[in-house]
Structure 1
């Protein structure tokens, strides 16, 4: 392991990271995780850059969780330079867990899951850099990199569903709730467009500047990119402790300090937001109980209010201690997909999601993160994220919210736009005219 201080390198940490990301993009696979030094309960992601695929998960549909378990076990017992696995789990893995299907439009063609064991790991710990690699000269290679300054060019995002249809669907979902089919359902819509020119590093830095969050990440898998400003943790494992932190409840930020405080207070005291959050807390408690030691599931914090650059969020923290006969992959499998992105009861609302949403979610509302050996992992919820297929020149992002019987369709639509504000702003900076029909 190589350990150096940034003052010794003669450039700032941020300048070095930019060079390292550009070098990483020369490889077929890389993943960058950044906590942005946000003060967050149980901390955010490790600040780490994983570069190159020493080995990749080769999985077949219908056995992904078993294949992931085998892959993880193989890495932790091999002589590779590290025992990390990095990647993502797509929402439609629900079809492996339950008897469900997904037949909606898929514009990007992301595989259901992708993981790799990196060839190189760069850990950023304050002003210290630690490099894990069997290759010599990595530091010098990165320092010699010339940073690419080209701008991306993206067309204006188009909605997959009209506003009128969105409002109608919210009303229909409220009818399902009234009829007793479910209590709460997370309904989402997609926006999509074309990529004329792509600089993923520049896009990530722009999004992270607009919306720095504790579970930010940039991932590349061949032609597929994930650019995420996620504020939400799906699940973290530290030793035998599991931590889940669902978000339910949103208010926009205001530049006026008094108004901003009013919005924050309004969120904390809103009975509807509390009811939504409580439903998901109960769902998460039940999910964690499936793999927990008896009596170990605890609600550590309920209705916590946390402020991010674009929004105030209501976040609760639930913890558990896993049973001795349960491994890391099974903990994830038994709780996937996360309740904050489905609703309750989980199976029924996933059927309704398939019916009323008109696009596949793909990696959206799945989870991106890493296994640090078999004893720890950390995964976000893939929201506030841009997904790009460089080969086809297409991008998409999705946004949604929890629908309850008390939901007002127009306000739900407005909340979607608030949550997507950072990505809309990002694309506006890179925007070019849409291609003519048929081109």
Structure 2
């Protein structure tokens, strides 16, 4: 069982110039690290805290098919901080499902570790939690250089697994499934891959946040595997006895003109199609949370909220529930995993059809990343708008998707995917990576 590390709170004015920037650069050089950043974006019920977790005291060990039981045992034994991710294909542990496609970047299905050093930034202070003295930590961080080399990829070219024509045909097939009563809604994703590329993942993360600051962004290093994440979506949070999930369904491109942008926002709010998509997932999430909740406690404090990010407006709903006292936190996550907004409804049938129509294993994409506290609370995002990078294989991938309903227009759904990919494509273009012709 891990021992409790020493804590000390420091005034930020006493830490030197750009301490947050230097601390991120310092943390990113450990073999295991996670950086969380809500980017000071106002978000219903709060975004990710500003936090750095670096170094690996110990990891949660698991074998095939035991991720959630291993997590449960760890949480029972160790009342410590823990950070990491759940990959989408853990669905196969929860339901009788399989993932037969190739995993391009080969992330493990789950990776969580107890950090050696934790920095929690709160207003004008930073709280240090570490066995290393505060003075030594501050000295090491303050001496960390900020000048990361720019990313240049040479002649690398981004490859799509699904071309536009195939995507449009698949959307029509999915609509036929809906018409036949197989399902109501499916989140259909397309993936992009890049081979033989040597990049600086931390600099890529910084570039992505400059393009697309989001409330649930994070940078994760798990030895040779890197998560570069600009997620706008929360999967699940436990705060005391209250559970919170905030599915996103509904997207509209922002306009430069303020009046036109305001009109787009209003049109999104009034869209019957987007409301129907959102409502289906809200109902699914309510059902998922009810498995862990006190009877009658599941509520929807906000339905169809419209929130604006740099490139787009999103429709976000919030679902809360009071945790049943006999429910383990590992079961809470398992009961709701994976996030309904990344599957569709009904969840099991849709996940079967996702395997049929998508052409790559999702891996870490549409899983969840976040942290657990010693008190038994946790906060997890949805891994979207994210890059996965394997530095040993020199492979990088990302995926984007949209919700397909019977009312979906295949062309518009394809355009929504490109809109969601815009920030990542811009960042990769800056690195000199050649882009495919996405109009074909």
Given the two structures, how large is their TM-score scaled by the length of structure 2?
Answer: 0.95
Q: Is residue 156–residue 428 contact of structure 1 (8 Å, CA) maintained in 2?
A: no
1:149 and 1:10 map into 2 onto residues whose CA distance is: 19
**Alignment partner of 1:411 is 2:409:** no
**Kept in 2: contact 1:252–1:312 (CA 8 A):** yes
Contact kept in structure 2, 1:48 and 1:121, CA below 8 Å: yes
Q: What CA distance in whole angstroms lies between the structure 1 residues aligned with 2:353 and 2:394?
A: 31
Q: Partners in 2 of 1:225 and 1:395 — Cα distance?
A: 9
Give the TM-score of the pair, scaled to structure 1: 0.95
Structure 1 residue 142: deviation in Å? 1.0
Contact 1:218/1:225, CA 8 A, preserved across alignment: yes
1:320-378 per-position Cα deviation (integer Å, ceiling 9, x unaligned)? 00111001111100010111000000000000000000000001000000011253100
What SS does the aligned partner of 2:318 have? Answer: strand
User: Which residues of structure 1 form unaligned runs of 5+?
Assistant: 77-82, 435-439
**Kept after mapping to 1: 8 A contact 2:239/2:377:** yes
Matched, 1:3 2:12: no
SS in 2 for 1:431: coil
In the TM superposition, 1:71-82 aligns within 5 A as 71-76=74-79
Which aligned segments of 4 or more residues in structure 1 are displaced greater than 4 angstroms?
none
The 5 Å alignment of 1:68-107 reads 68-76=71-79, 83-107=80-104
Give the aligned partner of residue 269 of structure 2.
268
What's the offset of the Cα at 1:195? 5.5
Equivalent position of 2:55 in the other structure: 52
In 1, distance between residues paired with 2:76 and 2:54? Answer: 21
In the other structure, the counterpart of 1:344 is 345
How does 1:215-294 map onto structure 2 within 5 Å? Answer: 215-294=216-295
RMSD (CA atoms)? 1.2
The whole-number CA distance in structure 2 between the counterparts of 1:364 and 1:260 is 30
Q: Please show how residues 328-407 of structure 1 align to structure 2 within 5 Å.
A: 328-407=329-408
Aligned to 1:130: 127
Residue 146 of structure 1 is matched in structure 2 by 145
For structure 2, which runs of at least 5 residues remain unmatched after alignment?
Answer: 1-6, 436-440
Against the structure 1 CA distance between its residues 61 and 374, is the aligned structure 2 distance closer, same or farther, given a 3 Å change threshold? farther
Q: Deviations over 1:377-436 (max 9, x none)?
A: 0000000001100111110000001000000100000000001111011111112459xx
Partner SS state of residue 153, structure 1: coil
Aligned partners of 1:90, 1:201: CA distance in 2, in Å? 21
Deviating more after overlay: 380-389 vs 155-164 = 155-164
> What SS does the corresponding residue of 2:366 show, helix, strand or coil?
coil
Does the alignment pair 1:319 with 2:320? yes
Distance 1:345 1:432, change over 3 A: closer
Residue 118 in 1 paired to residue 115 in 2?
Answer: yes
Does structure 1 conserve the Cα–Cα contact (< 8 Å) formed by 2:158 and 2:434? no
Using the alignment, how far apart are the partners of 2:346 and 2:433 within structure 1?
43
Greater shift, 196-205 or 106-115, is seen at: 196-205
Aligned mates of 1:38, 1:74 — CA distance in 2: 35
The alpha carbon displacement at 1:152 in A equals 1.7
